[in-house]
Amino acid sequence: MGLLQKIFGTYSEREMKNIKPIMEATIALEGKYAEMDEAELRGVTAKFKQELADGKTLDDIMPEALAAAREAAYRVLGQKAFPVQVIGAIVLHQGRIAEMKTGEGKTLTAALAAYLNALSGKGVHVVTVNDYLAKFHSEWMGRIYTYLGLTVGLVIHEKTNEERREAYACDITYGTNNEFGFDYLRDNMVIYKENKVQRGFNFAIVD
């Protein structure tokens, strides 16, 4: 290890110094959200959206939103995200790659980041490798989103244009790269704007 690296650390070490406090703030809120009754927890989404409307950013509300999604996942799925999964969600929110091995909980990690970014109301795409996983994950992780008052859509091969339009209008939309890609191409070939199925692009997670 060179002298400069000893002094300043590696890139990953420096990045973790910025990410770790956000993760710790999220974990520290565990008791607050665990004490909420069902109505209170279900109501936090509206509260977060109002805070964003009042001028806060997603970064401002990140620990609170991740903590809420973490508690919701525990209540509806019996799974509470570990600190490393919270770190992964933060990294995904920042638009970067979170490398996790099979079995380390990528799907739940992605769900935390998806919930946070869906609060903007601009839509989130979660891209999976095939229709089966898209459907399975939309139903499985969808239990978290619907519990917290968000809508979940699914775009797979057999969907009609009207069904696709409805799915893309949801807060979080699951599908495959093929379906998302070809819908984009078809939308750019329609004569009338109202025939498009997709809306503006905001945030996507590739699982």
DSSP labels, 75-127: HHHS----HHHHHHHHHHHTT------TTS-HHHHHHHHHHHHHTTSS-EEEE
End-to-end C-alpha distance for the chain, whole angstroms: 34
Residue type, 199: R
pLDDT value at residue 184: 96
Asked whether residue 2 is assigned to any structural domain, the reply reads no
Distant-in-sequence, close-in-space partners of 61: CB < 8 Å, separation ≥ 6: 48, 51, 52, 116, 119
Overall domain count for the chain: 1
187 within domain boundaries: yes
Provide the whole-model pTM: 0.91
pLDDT for residue 4: 40
* CATH number of the domain that residue 92 is part of: 3.40.50.300
Tell me, yes or no, whether 4 lies in a domain: no
- Sign, Cα dihedral of 92, 42, 162, 202: negative
| Average pLDDT score over the chain | 93
**Any domain includes 3:** no
pLDDT of residue 24: 97
Domain-located, residue 21: yes
Report, as ranges of residue numbers, the positions in the chain whose pLDDT lies below 50. Answer: 1, 3-9
At 8 the pLDDT is: 42
Examine residue 1 and state whether it is found in any structural domain, yes or no.
no
Q: Which domain holds residue 40?
A: 9-206
Give tens-digit pLDDT for 5-49. 444 446 667 778 889 999 999 999 999 999 999 999 999 999 999
Residue 183 maps to a domain: yes
Evaluate whether residue 81 is within a structural domain: yes
For residue 2, the model assigns a pLDDT of: 57
Left if phi > 0, otherwise alpha if psi is -120 to 50, otherwise beta: which for 97?
A: beta
